[in-house]
Amino acid sequence: MRHILILAWLAVATQSAQAAGRLAEVLVIDRDSGTPLRTYYHRGEYWVAGNPGARYAIEIRNTLHQRLLAVTSVDGINVLTGDTARWDQSGYVLDGEQSYDITGWRKSQAEVAVFEFAAAPNSYAARTGRSANIGVIGVAVFRERLPGQIAPAAPGGAPAPPASRENADESRLRGGADLEERSADSSQRPGAAAQTAPLAKLGTGHGPREQSAVEFTDFVRASSRPNEIVRIRYDSRENLIALGIIPRGTMPRGAPDPFPGSSLAHFVPDPPTSNLEQP
């Protein structure tokens, strides 16, 4: 099967501690600021909060020294073909230790329609009659079959069964999250009333087109089932607070300061006006 070969290396400085996945580290990037969206780990799931109208990208970094295939979906739809997503479809091929930002729905070898967070009814999935899986980003990762390597067969010659959630998702991804976000679980006290998210769910729209050049390449999978599945769910910040995923009162984290105890200028400040002595 032919897949998409990325033409350019992408040099980005991101914190791998926020990424989900091990063979391929996956982040959701705010394209306006160029920084990763904060990752929350809650009850075995990875979450990010999106802002309606904001453009985003899915950054995938190959941690291996060999090529891998990343079959990528948004809202249950393959980002390359627009088909309802399956593991055996086309994907992006990354060289060893290569990073790449998937910025939109692939329209041709030269263009994409940008990913932008949108109200669920305005999402591409809803507009094409496939709203059942709105709010999830998926990356199925495959190793490449090496020369002389024989693909493993399932017992009895039957097709390999789908990977179980425990094997493909939870155990492998657990070590890749921003672990400090586990404190979000503490907001769910035993006996507390269940919280329900508002009905206005967030999805991914079909934004304007922009240039994004790729070419086709061949890739033979070492196995018919993914070596890793990365799953990141998303919704609006308000919904994630309502669900208890983001603790109430938590403010968005800005860009980290490498020298937080240092000021750019250090001179004598003016006294507070309220404490001035009266003549």
Distance, CA of 21 to CA of 198 (rounded, Å) = 29
Q: What pLDDT, in 10s, does the model give residues 83-93? A: 999 999 999 99
pLDDT higher at 7 or 10: 7
Query: In the chain, where are the structural domains located?
Result: 2-275
What does the pLDDT read at residue 251?
A: 60
* E strand spans, 121-180: 136-143
% of the chain at pLDDT higher than 90? 60
What does the pLDDT read at residue 189?
A: 43
DSSP 61-81: EE-SSS-EEEEEEETTEETTT
% of the chain at pLDDT higher than 70? 65
What does the pLDDT read at residue 51?
A: 95
pLDDT higher at 169 or 245: 245
Q: What is the mean pLDDT of residues 73-90?
A: 95
Tokens of 76: 């249950």
Q: What pLDDT, in 10s, does the model give residues 141-199? A: 999 998 876 655 544 333 333 333 333 333 333 333 333 333 334 444 444 444 555 54
What does the pLDDT read at residue 247?
A: 87
Q: Average per-residue pLDDT in the chain?
A: 78
Taking 60 as the threshold, does the pLDDT of residue 56 lie above it? yes
What does the pLDDT read at residue 178?
A: 37
Q: What is the mean pLDDT of residues 210-233?
A: 95
Taking 90 as the threshold, does the pLDDT of residue 18 lie above it? no
Distant-in-sequence, close-in-space partners of 269: CB < 8 Å, separation ≥ 6: none
pLDDT bracket for residue 115 (50, 70, 90): very high
Distance, CA of 138 to CA of 79 (rounded, Å) = 10
**How far apart, in Å, are the Cα atoms of 7 and each of 10, 82, 117, 212, 220?**
10, 21, 26, 9, 19
pLDDT bracket for residue 14 (50, 70, 90): very low
What does the pLDDT read at residue 174?
A: 35
For the ranges 19-23, 96-100, 161-165, 248-252, the lowest mean pLDDT is seen at 161-165
